[in-house]
Amino acid sequence: MAKERKDLIKIGELANMAGIQVVTIRYYEKEGLLAKPQRSPNGYRTYRRADVERLRFVRHCREHGMAIEDIKTLLKLREAPDRDCMEVNTLVDDHIKKLEEQLASLQALKSRLVELRGKCPHSGAISNCGIISGLDGYHCRAWEDKEGQNQTN
């Protein structure tokens, strides 16, 4: 039984090649992102070239902030080269939309916080700090309403 090539690698080598931690690979396996690999007689996982590529694909997707479930879908699509790629486009478009929403809300957040920060450029007592009062519950309308109701009852 001559091995024609060194076709099998262990998890550590795979991790190095794909730029992913060993524990993360095991985690991906558990999550069904990677098929259960063969085991050598000692119980160690053994991987092949295709696994490196698959894992790199996963890593690139994660680096683009995609969710594991989305990556699962993409992997399935990747393995069906004859199908129409519209589904891929849709998934990516959705993801871009999500990113845009995140960006918008973060941007709004930041503006508001910078504005708030501008209310306390000095160094004084907290009681005068515009940031703390800016974060306060402005005025307690609901409570007033509540008491108003009580008086009518």
Query: Which positions lie near a second copy, rule CB under 8 A?
Result: 5-6, 9, 13, 16-18, 49, 52-53, 55-57, 59-61, 63-65, 74, 77-78, 80-86, 88-89, 92-93, 95-96, 99-100, 102-103, 106-107, 109-110, 112-114, 116-117, 120, 123-129, 131-132, 135-138, 140, 142-143, 146-147, 150
Of the candidate spans 36-44, 106-114, 122-130, 138-146, the one that interacts with DNA by CB under 7 A turns out to be: 36-44
Question: Which of the choices a second copy, DNA, none does residue 119 contact, using the CB cut-off of 5 to 8 A by kind?
Answer: none
Nearest-5° Cα angle at 24, 56 to 22: 90
Residue for token pair 């849709």: 90
Residue 11 interacts with DNA (CB under 7 A): yes or no = yes
Q: Which residues contact 14 (CB under 8 A, 6 or more apart)?
A: 20, 25, 47, 51, 52, 55
DSSP H or E run through 39? strand 38-39
Choose from a second copy, DNA, none: what does 35 bind? Cβ within 5-8 Å by kind. Answer: none
3-state secondary structure of 45: strand
Q: Distance (Å, rounded) from C-alpha 153 to C-alpha 149?
A: 6
- Looking at the Cβ atoms of 23 and 104, the one nearer to DNA is 23
